[in-house]
Amino acid sequence: MNTMALYFIGDVQGCDAPLARLLQKIDFSPSRDTVYLLGDLVNRGPDSVGVLRRLQGLGDAARCLLGNHDMHLLALAHGIRKPHRGDTVRSVLDAPDRVALLDWLRHQRLAVFEHGCLMVHAAVLPSWTATQTVALAAEVEAVLRGPALVDFLRNMYGDEPLLWSDALQGAARLRAIVNVLTRLRFCTPEGRMEFDVKSGPDTAPEGFVPWYEAPGRRTADVTVAFGHWSTLGYMNRGNVIALDTGCAWGGCLSALRFDGGARTLFQEIC
């Protein structure tokens, strides 16, 4: 008899057919297993609406994080932004079940700390603990689910502030939290953020390091799993797991079975 399994899956980005094949490959059972999807569920791939319907249909067996593309979809849906040339979320915006899908999306999480693992889409600042990360994410999650959603989305865009302070308030505080959890790749050891460089970890601007290499990082004692960084690719080194393997860019979709110390990688070509 198969035992309960726990999986992490990297950025799906609207690639529903590879997601279906990957779930079949790992023999995923919603009644038995749990899968955590590390954000960017939609956009760039051909079937964003199919991905959302599939994950919604899995119920509590699929625990989904929000990435920058998912937040972008919410902004598009509320008229805050206009589509980018490469956006492929029209299938969601035109869907007959659009309202239900978008409502489901805005009830997903920005950070989860379960099974001894902290899960985010992009990054964690060096000064943040795992507990603090989840608490800060919850501040944004409450706004996403509440009546101030449109005002929040209207003020969500922009790189400032580039340095976190616990004293930040209002839109600046929420924007900084979103930027860390859904966009960040590089920061200084002191936590100053950088959002322009999107290539590999060896291209860090002077004075900056990949966020997970910041000395004194307060989440170094827990396992952190994330996506977002397709030019980094798959990385499984001790307490750092990266799982964006570029499905929407001709790469593959990756799932990691996580049994504490034992980790098994499954991949599906896109």
pLDDT digit of tens for each residue in the chain (270 aa)? 467 999 999 999 999 999 999 999 999 999 999 999 999 999 999 999 999 999 999 999 999 999 999 999 999 999 999 999 999 999 999 999 999 999 999 999 999 999 999 999 999 999 999 999 999 999 999 999 999 999 999 999 999 999 999 999 999 999 999 999 999 999 999 999 999 999 999 999 999 999 999 999 999 999 999 999 999 999 999 899 999 999 999 999 999 999 867 899 999 998
Cα distance between residue 263 and residue 236, in whole Å: 9
Q: What residue type is 80 in one-letter code?
A: I
The token duo for 171 is 């839109």
Show the domain range for 41: 6-269
CATH of the domain at 165: 3.60.21.10
Which value, in Å, is the radius of gyration of the alpha carbons in the chain? 17
Tokens 């119920």 locate to 59
Tokens representing 150 are 């449109």
Contact 245, 267 (CB under 8 A): yes
How is residue 204 annotated by DSSP? P
Domain count for the chain: 1
257 has which bridge partners?
Answer: 7, 264
| Statement: the pTM of the whole predicted model exceeds 0.95 | yes
For residue 111, being part of any structural domain is answered with: yes
Q: Are 138 and 146 in contact (CB under 8 A)?
A: no
225 located within any domain: yes
Distance between CA atoms of residues 178 and 110, nearest Å: 8
Instruction: Give a yes or no: residue 1 inside a domain.
Output: no
